[in-house]
Amino acid sequence: MDSNATDEILTLSEIATYLKVSEKTILRMVQAGDIPGAKISNQWRFMRDIIEDWLTERMLTASKDDLIRVINTGKTIYPLSKLVARERILIDIKPGSREDVLNQLVLPLVRENIITDSTAFVADLIERENVISTAIARNVAIPHAQDFAAINMKTPSLVLGICRDGTDFNALDGELTHIFILPCTPSHTTHLRLMAKISLLLRNKNIVEKMLKVATVDEIHELLIKTDIEIITHL
């Protein structure tokens, strides 16, 4: 565990603040096994990365109202179509090892000087994957870094990668992964809100199949715009 380990282990009070609920609610949830935690010397402790994975999984089945409440906490986050610049849409991700795939996803961030040390950043992504795979389900993976300070940007953004043949990314359901969404955010709070946005995107019927059928970056961008409009219309 690195020098920032103390920031990654949360107390009962800190996790309550992070999730914006009471300590009693967290205590009741952890005792019932509804939220992942460990008791150390009679005190509950929580791994931030595991909690974020738990949140991601919960977001996939959460109500739209709950997701909107998460998104609306803090400053405005723009529609996903505005957070995915065309140069960060990769429609020809080649199958390979996790490191091979992550290197492809990080390349546009290096070109834009958003990431200055790609080796360290990819190592951080892999370390994150070793905790538990971010290939959550539905042929989609959402790899993300633990070191937010390494991301040289003030506003959130996304890298979207499409692997038409699919690749083994150690998915929790054992299936091949076709869609990779790499969120780039300056803080944990922004990351959580962006994950809620991504969860709304994945609610869209057949979104993975639609992405795999399009042939160009412009078509992908148009699909994201259309999906954003559908999300707003049905809220």
Q: Is residue 84, in this structure, part of any structural domain at all?
A: yes
What is the value of pTM for the model shown? 0.71
Number of structural domains (the chain) is: 2
Place 156 in a pLDDT band, splitting at 50, 70 and 90: confident
177 phi/psi in degrees, rounded to 5: -105, 130
CB of 181 within 8 A of CB of 163?
no
In a domain, 87, yes or no: yes
Tell whether 209 is covered by a domain: yes
Going 4 to 7 to 11 to 15, the CA torsion angle's sign is: negative
Cα-Cα end-to-end distance for the chain: 41
Check residue 97 and report its DSSP letter: -
Among 11-15, 62-66, 77-81, 221-225, the least confident range: 62-66
Whether 27 and 136 share a structural domain: no
Is pLDDT above 50 for 111?
yes
Residues 186 and 87 in one domain: yes
Q: Are 139 and 166 a contacting pair, CB within 8 Å?
A: yes
Say yes or no: 114 and 170 in one domain: yes
Domain of residue 105, residue span: 80-233
Query: Residues 44, 89: one domain?
Result: no
Chain centre distance of CA 90 = 17
94 and 198 together in one domain:
yes
Task: Read off the pLDDT of each residue in 135-142 and give the average, rounded to a whole number.
Answer: 85
In-domain check, residue 74: no
What mean pLDDT, rounded, does the chain reach?
80
- Answer yes or no: do 44 and 84 share one domain: no
Residues 191, 151 share a domain = yes
**59 in any annotated domain:** no
- Asked if 28 and 88 sit in the same domain, the reply is no
pLDDT for 70: 44
17 domain-assigned? yes
Is 71 a member of any domain?
A: no
Domain CATH code at residue 189: 3.40.930.10
Residue 45 has phi, psi (to 5 degrees) of -130, 150
> What's 33's domain CATH number?
1.10.10.10
Residues 122, 27 share a domain = no
Tell me if 74 sits within 8 A of 199, measured CB to CB.
Answer: no
Look at residue 223 and tell me if it is in a domain: yes
> Which pLDDT belongs to residue 112?
87
Determine the average pLDDT of the residues in 186-207: 75
